[in-house]
C-alpha cells in the first residue's frame, strides 16, 4: 500500500447528487436541508446511464446503487463490517447441518405506493412475495447473477425451472415465515440473500412493468431524464430511528450524469456534488496542496479519504476464439505488461497495488491473497512463449480488438497496454472505447478478443470473484451471452476446486480451496489482474452517518445533511 502525505479519513465513501438544474445540469440542494438534518436532497454523480432497474438483471455498479435504494432483500450487509444483518427478515434459524434456513419476516412492511396496487396503496409484503421472487429468479434468463449462485442449491429449483409448478425447497409456513431447504450445505447462502439480485419484488409490479419495492426511496418515470435520476422518500418506510422518527431522513436522492474526472471535481469544489470518487489521479496532489486550509479550518469544508475496494481490474481474454484459446499466447501477453508502470505512471498511485497475485483482491478478511503467485513481468520469457505458440515476434497474429469502457482513466490504461504490447511483443491491438452495454453486446457475440474489465464483489468472499471463471456458466455457442464468465473459460480442474469450495462450511478449508483455484487462474491466465482498487474520495463535511465500505454499498437510510450549527443544536 502506498504511503500518503497527510492523514486521511479511511472510511468515507459515497456517490451523491442534487435535485435542481442549472447550466451544468447539477444544482446545489443545500438550501433544502431542514432543521436537525431532516429533509434535503443528496447529490451523486454517475458517468453513464443505469443498465436496468430490475433486481435480477443488475450487473453494473450504477444500477446496483439505484436499485438498492428502491428494493430490499431479506437480509443486508452491515455497511461497516460487511456482516449479515436483518432487513425484511427480522430473524432466522439454520438447522440440519446448514441445509434448512427458516426466516421470520418483519410484520408491517409495505410495498411502496404505486398504481399497480389496489387504490394505489402499497400492500403488505408477505411470504408469498418471497416465493414469487425466487420463482422469478429460477425462470429468468440464465445470465442473472442471483441464479448463477442459486443454481442446483435449492431443492426442486431445477425441476421447477424445467417444468414449472412449485419449488419444493421453498415453503411459506405462514404469511410471515419462509423455509428454504438446500440440496447441500452452502456457506454463502445468507450472503446471496443479501445481494440486490434477490431483492423481494411484487407480482403486481412485475406484471405491470412498474419499478416498486419496499426500500427507503421510490422511483417515478417523471423524475428520470437525460440529466438525472431522482428518487423520492418512501413516506411509508418500515424503519424508524431510536426516537421514533420515520426514516429515511432525506427527502430525496439524485444521481446526475456527469463525466468522470475533472468535471465531477469542479462541481464538488463548487458545492454542487456531495461526494465524488474516482478523482483524477493527477489532481490529488493539487487538492491537498491548494485546499489544505479546507482540511484544517474548523469546521472543515470537506474530507479527503482513501479506502480499499473489493474490486480488481483485469485484462480478460476471449478464450473461446483464436489466438486466446492458446494458453501460451495468454501468458505471453500477461508477462509483457508492466503492471507496476500502469499503477505508478497512469494511475498515479491510486490503487492498492499492481495485480501481482490472483484475481481476488486484498480487501477480503482472512484471505491470504498475497500467497497467490501471479505472472512476472518478463519480456524475454513472453517472447519465447509467443514463438512457441506459433507467433514469433507477433508474426501472423491478427490485429486484436481491445474493448474498454468509457472514461479517461480506462482509455489511458488501454493506451499504455497497447504501447507495451507493440513495443515488447510486436502485437497490434485496436482500441474501441464503448459503453458498458456496447461492451456486453460485443462480448455476447464474441466480436472482441480482449477486454479491460473490473469486478466489484457481490459479497465479501473469494467465490464472488472465482465465479467469473466457472465453466458450467458458459453457453454452448460463442454467439450467446456468457455471464458472468465473459472470458468463456472452461477447465474441469478449476471447476472441481470451485465446486468443492462452494459446499465447504469451514472457513479455513474453504479459503484453502479458493486459494488453490485462484492460483490455478493465475497460471492458466484466462484473465490478467492489472491492479487492486483503493480509491480516494471527497465528501462534503455536512454529510453525516454515511459509512464507507469496500463493496460500495450506499446505505442511505440514516444519512443526514447537517451544517455545524445543526450539529451543535442536536448535541
Residue ranges of the domains in the chain?
Answer: 30-54+217-301+541-570, 72-207, 308-533
Q: Which residues of the chain have pLDDT under 70?
A: 1-36, 141-143, 281, 288-299, 564-571
In angstroms, the CA 200 to CA 111 distance is: 10
In angstroms, the CA 185 to CA 175 distance is: 26
In angstroms, the CA 151 to CA 397 distance is: 39
CB 522 within 8 A of CB 375: yes
In angstroms, the CA 451 to CA 248 distance is: 40
In angstroms, the CA 373 to CA 351 distance is: 19
In angstroms, the CA 487 to CA 327 distance is: 13
Structural domain 308-533, CATH architecture: Roll (3.10)
* Model pLDDT, residue 565: 54
The residue among 333, 327, 332 whose CA lies nearest residue 490 is: 327
**24: DSSP letter:** T
* Model pLDDT, residue 173: 98
| Residue 180 region by backbone torsions, left for phi larger than 0, else alpha for psi between -120 and 50, else beta | beta
* Model pLDDT, residue 526: 98
C-alpha cell at 555: 446505505
Element of type H or E holding 304: strand 302-317
Q: Within 10 A of 490 (CB to CB), how many other CB atoms are there?
A: 17
The residue among 114, 71, 124, 144 whose CA lies nearest residue 208 is: 114
Specify the residue for cell string 435520476. 229
In angstroms, the CA 456 to CA 529 distance is: 13
pTM tops 0.95: no
72-207 carries CATH number 3.30.465.10:
no
Specify the residue for cell string 456517490. 15
CB 44 within 8 A of CB 255: yes
CATH number of 30-54+217-301+541-570: 3.40.190.10
* Model pLDDT, residue 494: 98
C-alpha cell at 4: 500518503
Give the total residue count for the chain.
571
Burial class (CB in 10 A: 0-12, 13-18, 19+), 458: buried
Amino acid at each position: 500500500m502506498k504511503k500518503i502525505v497527510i492523514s486521511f479519513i479511511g472510511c468515507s465513501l459515497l456517490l451523491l447528487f442534487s435535485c435542481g438544474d442549472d447550466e451544468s445540469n447539477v444544482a446545489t440542494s443545500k438550501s433544502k436541508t431542514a432543521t436537525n438534518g431532516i429533509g434535503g436532497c443528496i447529490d451523486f454523480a454517475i458517468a453513464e446511464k443505469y443498465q436496468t432497474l430490475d433486481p435480477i438483471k443488475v450487473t453494473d455498479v450504477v444500477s446496483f446503487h439505484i436499485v438498492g435504494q428502491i428494493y430490499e432483500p431479506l437480509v443486508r450487509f452491515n455497511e461497516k463490517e460487511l456482516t449479515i444483518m436483518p432487513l425484511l427478515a427480522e430473524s432466522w434459524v439454520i438447522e440440519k447441518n446448514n441445509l434448512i434456513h427458516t426466516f421470520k419476516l418483519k410484520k408491517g412492511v409495505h410495498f411502496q405506493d404505486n398504481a399497480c396496487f389496489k387504490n394505489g396503496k402499497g400492500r403488505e409484503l408477505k411470504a408469498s412475495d418471497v416465493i414469487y421472487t425466487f420463482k422469478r429468479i429460477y425462470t429468468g434468463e440464465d445470465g442473472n447473477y442471483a441464479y448463477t449462485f442459486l443454481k442446483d442449491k435449492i431443492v426442486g429449483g431445477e425441476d421447477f425451472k424445467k417444468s414449472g409448478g412449485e419449488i419444493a425447497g421453498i415453503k411459506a409456513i405462514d404469511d410471515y415465515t419462509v423455509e428454504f431447504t438446500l440440496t447441500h450445505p452452502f456457506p454463502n447462502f445468507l450472503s446471496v440473500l443479501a445481494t440486490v439480485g434477490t431483492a423481494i419484488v411484487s407480482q403486481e409490479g412485475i406484471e405491470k412493468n412498474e419499478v416498486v419495492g419496499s426500500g427507503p426511496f421510490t422511483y417515478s418515470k417523471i423524475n428520470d431524464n437525460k440529466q438525472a435520476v431522482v428518487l423520492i422518500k418512501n413516506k411509508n418506510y418500515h424503519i424508524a430511528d431510536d426516537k421514533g422518527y420515520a426514516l429515511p431522513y432525506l427527502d430525496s436522492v439524485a444521481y446526475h450524469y456527469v463525466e468522470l474526472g475533472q468535471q465531477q471535481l469542479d462541481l464538488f469544489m463548487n458545492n454542487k456534488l456531495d461526494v465524488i470518487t474516482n478523482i483524477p489521479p493527477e489532481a490529488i496532489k493539487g487538492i491537498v496542496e491548494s485546499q489544505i486550509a479546507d482540511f484544517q479550518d474548523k469546521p472543515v469544508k470537506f474530507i479527503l479519504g482513501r479506502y480499499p475496494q473489493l474490486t480488481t481490474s483485469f485484462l480478460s481474454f476471449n478464450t473461446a476464439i483464436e489466438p486466446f484459446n492458446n494458453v501460451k499466447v495468454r501468458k505471453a501477453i500477461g508477462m509483457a505488461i508492466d503492471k507496476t508502470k500502469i499503477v505508478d505512471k497512469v494511475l498515479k498511485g491510486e490503487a492498492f497495488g499492481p495485480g501481482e497475485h490472483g484475481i481476488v483482491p486484498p480487501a477480503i478478511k482472512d484471505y491470504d491473497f498475497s500467497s497467490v503467485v501471479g505472472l512476472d513481468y518478463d519480456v524475454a520469457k513472453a517472447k519465447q512463449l509467443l514463438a512457441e505458440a506459433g507467433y514469433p515476434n507477433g508474426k501472423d497474429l491478427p490485429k486484436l480488438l481491445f474493448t474498454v469502457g468509457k472514461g479517461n482513466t480506462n482509455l489511458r490504461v488501454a493506451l499504455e497496454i497497447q504501447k507495451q504490447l507493440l513495443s515488447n511483443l510486436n502485437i497490434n491491438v485496436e482500441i474501441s472505447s464503448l459503453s458498458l452495454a456496447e461492451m456486453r453486446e460485443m462480448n455476447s457475440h464474441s466480436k472482441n478478443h480482449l477486454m479491460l474489465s473490473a469486478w466489484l464483489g457481490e459479497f465479501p468472499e473469494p467465490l464472488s470473484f472465482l465465479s467469473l471463471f466457472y465453466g458450467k456458466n458458459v453457453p454452448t455457442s460463442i454467439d450467446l451471452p456468457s455471464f458472468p464468465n465473459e472470458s468463456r473459460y472452461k477447465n474441469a480442474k478449476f471447476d472441481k476446486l470451485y465446486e468443492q469450495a462452494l459446499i465447504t462450511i469451514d472457513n479455513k478449508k474453504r479459503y484453502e480451496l479458493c486459494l488453490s483455484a485462484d492460483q490455478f487462474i493465475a497460471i492458466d491466465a484466462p484473465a490478467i489482474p492489472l491492479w487492486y482498487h483503493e480509491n480516494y474520495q471527497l465528501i462534503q463535511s455536512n454529510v453525516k452517518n454515511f459509512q464507507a465500505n469496500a463493496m460500495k454499498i450506499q446505505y442511505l437510510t440514516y444519512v443526514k445533511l447537517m451544517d455545524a450549527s445543526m450539529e451543535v443544536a442536536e448535541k
